[in-house]
Amino acid sequence: MYYKTTVLYVHVCYFFGSTLDPDVLPKACQYKDRNGNKRQPKWKNNDSSQYFPSYNISPQSYTPVLVSCKSGAQSTKQEISDDERELQAMKWGLVPSWHRGDPGSFGYKMNNARIESITEKKSFKGALERGRRCVVLAEGFYEWQEVKGGGQKQPYFIYFKEKVKHEENNEEDEMKSDRPLLTMAGIFDVWQPSSEEEPLYSYSVITLEAKAPFRSIHHRVPAVLKDEEAVRQWLDGSEIKYEQALKLLSPDDCLDWHPVSKAVNNSRYKEPDCTKEIDLSLAEKKAQRGKITNWFKKSPKKRETLSGSTEEPATKKEKLEQ
C-alpha cells in the first residue's frame, strides 16, 4: 500500500511524528475496496480534533490509525459504515477495557506489544480476541543506536525503502512525496468509565526481534505491513483470525534509515529538520570542537588545576594562611 503524503513520523524506543494535516490524511490513505472502487477513509464521527500534527510525537499523544469498520472501533450507537476502513485518532499507550479507575492510574507502559508474549498478556489477548487490530500510520520512526564508549545514543530516522513516483498533473501539491506512508501493525482497546462518558481509544505497536541489517540500529523493530494486501489481511478480523494474522507478521528488509540530529531526543523539539540527514563524521568533529571551546571557557582556577599545576590559586593560598 503506497500513500503519497508529506511528512508523518514515529519512535521503537519511539517517538512518532506527523505533520500531515487532518484534512489531507484521508487522501493519503486512499485504497481500493473489494469491488475495486477507490475509497478514502473518513474520520470516525468526522472528528479529528484530538490529532495535532507534529514533527516529534512521544507516547501518550494521539496519533492517526486505520481501523476496519467491522472491528468494533465504532460506537454501538452508530450504524456500520458502508466503507471498509476509517481513520481515528487514538492515544498511544494501550489502556485495557477491564481497567478500573482513572486511565492515568494504569501503571504499566503499553506503548509496544512484543509479539513473543502478546497472547500471554491479558491486556493484549483480550483486544486480539475482540478483533481490535489497527494500522498505525507514519512516514517513519526514530530509533536510537548505542554509541561506543557509553556516550549519548545516536538517533536514526527509519522509513520505507521504496520511493513513490510523482503522478503527472497531480493538482494536490500536499500529496507529493518521495516516500510511501509507513504502515505498522497495532492493537487497540476501548476503555469506558460509564455509558454517559466518552470512551478512551488507545493502542500499542506490535514489535518483533530485528534481523540484520536493522539489528545494527536496534534489536527490536515494529511489525511493518509492507503492502496493501498485508494491510487488508491485518485489518480483516472478521475473516482472518488473530492466530493466523500474527503469523503473517515478520521482520522485513523493506526499511531504510539515516542518522538525524540528537535534538530529536527531546520530544519538545519539533522543528522541520527533525528528519534531516546529518553527516556523522562532521557531527563528531563539531562535538569535539565544542568540548575544546568549553574547556577554554573554564575559569583560570580550573584551567590551572586541569593543566597539572601544583601551585594553589592565590586566593585559596591567602585563605589557607589566615
- Pick from 72, 192, 76, 202: nearest CA to 136: 202
Cell of 314: 592565590
* Residues 306-319: b if buried by 16+ CB within 10 A, e if exposed: eeeeeeeeeeeeee
Residue 103, SS3 per DSSP: helix
Rounded to an integer, what distance in angstroms lies between the CA atom of residue 174 and that of residue 131? 34
Contact status, residue 110 vs residue 127, Cβ threshold 8 Å: no
Residue from 13, 84, 254, 304 carrying the catalytic annotation: 13
Round to the nearest angstrom and report the end-to-end CA distance of the chain: 80
The residues, any chain, with a CB within 8 Å of residue 265's CB and separated by 6 or more, are: 144, 152, 153, 155
Strands 85-92, 42-43: parallel, antiparallel or unpaired by DSSP? parallel
Rounded to an integer, what distance in angstroms lies between the CA atom of residue 183 and that of residue 137? 5
SS3 content of the chain, % helix, strand, coil (to 5): 25, 25, 50
- Pick from 249, 250, 253: nearest CA to 213: 253
Active site residue 134: no
Active site residue 143: yes
Residue from 29, 69, 143, 274 carrying the catalytic annotation: 143
Q: List active site positions.
A: 13, 143
